[in-house]
Amino acid sequence: MPAKSQTKQRKRRVRTMSVDGIAEAVELMTREYGPFEQERRLDPADEMVFTILSQHTSDTNSSRAYARLMERFGTLEAVAEGTITEIEEAIAPGGLAKIKAPRIKEVLTKVLELNGSLDLAFLREMPLAQAKAWLRQLPGIGPKSAGIVLNFSLGMPAMAVDTHIYRVCQRLGVIEPAVTADKAHDILEAKVAPEEVFNFHVSFINHGRQVCKAQRPLCLECVVSGVCPSRKKFITAKNIKEEGKSVPTGNATARRRTGTGQLPHVPQQEG
């Protein structure tokens, strides 16, 4: 093998975080933002609809849209029988209603066609790969949506990689830079212990939302800065001076965010 190819392979191996390193990062983030309670689960079909409503909007807006949808129709069976216009009117507070309404009706109609009912509890009895494949045959259901339904509704160790998780994984070196978001699902499932998939998801998504932000990551407040290969790209003398902090050298930070983590993919209760 040419010397240049060997060098590139060595660099890729160095960039990729080990399984133990991932477990340590999950533990640190869970301690920082958690604990996370696996409660308030929706039924699988409801979770699927809520996932569609949550696309390209805030948790608050998607929660409001889901609440309005259920107030208007009462059941998902009624939603499936409703017109696109009726669904659109109900979910208007969530944004992109003209796009999401036909998607919701189409996916519910397809589930009824394939299964005879909207009860998807049978997926829990399937091997994970088969359950994912069953959901992936539905219109508009990709690896992220399938992972959300299986993990958050049925408690199965399916990985769901959103933009926050994907960004954090790339910056921490959990996945290689060239790995796409779709491919990241299978790679991360192989690296994260099944019993830790839920904590991985919610801890990484909270870290991406609160600290490892897209435009200006708060590296000086990062609980995993000591193991992050990307921090040197973001920490500058200017922001150190502005925030009056020293460059973190380890994993210890002030636990200011404990208990502030949000559980994604479940409707928020208003008030």
146 and 50 belong to one structural domain? yes
Does the residue 231 lie in any domain? yes
227 and 270 belong to one structural domain? yes
Q: Could you write out the DSSP letters of every residue in 6-73?
A: HHHHHHHHHHSPPHHHHHHHHHHHHHHH------SPPPHHHHHHHHHHTTTS-HHHHHHHHHHHHHHH
Residue 198's domain comprises 11-39+183-271
149 and 52 belong to one structural domain? yes
**CB atoms < 10 A from the CB of 221, how many?**
17
82 and 111 belong to one structural domain? yes
Q: Rounded to an integer, what distance in angstroms lies between the CA atom of residue 36 and that of residue 195?
A: 14
70 and 127 belong to one structural domain? yes
Does the residue 5 lie in any domain? no
Query: In tens digits, what is the pLDDT along the chain, a chain of 271 residues?
Result: 555 555 454 444 445 789 999 999 999 999 999 888 776 689 999 999 999 999 888 888 999 999 999 999 999 999 999 999 999 999 998 899 999 999 999 999 999 999 999 999 999 999 999 999 999 999 999 999 999 999 999 999 999 999 999 999 999 999 998 999 999 999 999 999 999 999 999 999 999 999 999 999 999 999 999 899 998 888 765 555 555 555 555 444 444 555 556 667 667 655 4
144 and 67 belong to one structural domain? yes
Distances (CA, A) of 117 to 45, 79, 103, 112: 10, 13, 18, 5
- CATH number, domain with residue 65: 1.10.340.30
Looking at the 3D structure of the chain, how many domains does it have? 2
57 and 71 belong to one structural domain? yes
**CB atoms < 10 A from the CB of 211, how many?**
22
Q: Rounded to an integer, what distance in angstroms lies between the CA atom of residue 63 and that of residue 263?
A: 13
Does the residue 172 lie in any domain? no
Read off the pTM: 0.83
111 and 34 belong to one structural domain? no
